[in-house]
Homo-oligomer: A and B are copies of this chain.
């Protein structure tokens, strides 16, 4: 089995991407194909090169701020498009990228197409919460969806929770602006009505309860999901910056706070997206693991490891069966 890694995508590419692959290689029982500029990639590899790392040349690179559809049409030899085409051709089984999310979503959708029975793909993003974590989807793949599509997201989120995160009978909740059934926009109320036919549905959840109430899968549309993802990031950074400012200015005095800073390590780890191994784009005939644009080597390492779990546990095949049998389950 072969995992295609977009070596040129992300704010810190290719350096951190390649280093992440080097970190993962000793623990990897599949081959990692680094797609991108061979000379830049080679310069970052140790000697001797780990046996399960190979390079596949691609001459172009899609920038983080390029318009997705235009970029993937023009740059057919970009590291991202080449990696995705490798999956389509059966040469690779999954793609890992920290590049332009919109371009990755568009390229994967156009090249792989939806699984039979799935109408819209969704990005499943993992969030920390008190005593665990939950998966939120759609975190940004498909704007402008209908309530029926959120039921698909729920089924995809459940399969991902079971196959990759090891949950048994994952519970699903609908992100809404009130807990009771009649709350929210017309879209939210209609979605609630559809979801309430399923045994795994546990009702609405509000933003303030996301981080404290036990729950495995939270569904919402891509606009709301992306706003939640980015706002969470913004609030956490804001509080951390206030915390840094609250510390004394003198370096000597700061030393006194070192023990506390060390005590806070679990907190930092919990808030650190790099710990969460990327967000899979689900619902297509192939697996694309989308990493934060600012991913460092550790983030790429974790994304490669969870991609391995997804491939080993046949996540895509399980989704295909799920939807082939209809949504009755």
Binding site for B on A (CB under 8 A): 65, 67, 102, 128-130, 140, 143-144, 175, 177-178, 180, 182, 184-188, 206-212, 220-224, 226-239, 241-243, 245-248, 257, 260, 263-264, 266-267, 270-271
Contact = CB atoms under 8 A, between A and B. Distances in A.
A208 B237 contact: yes
Given A143-B185, A234-B208, A257-B260, A177 B227 contact: yes
A233 B207 contact: yes
A189 B198 CA distance: 34
Contacts of A257: 260
A223 B144 contact: no
A235 B237 contact: no
Given A130-B241, A211-B234, A235-B232, A246 B267 contact: yes
Contacts of A187: 223
A290 B248 CA distance: 37
Nearest to A177: B226
Contacts of A266: 242, 245-246
Nearest to A223: B185
Nearest 9 interchain pairs by C-beta: A207-B230, A207-B231, A211-B238, A177-B226, A208-B230, A208-B234, A235-B235, A143-B185, A242-B267
Contacts of A143: 177, 184-186
A42 to B, nearest CB: 35
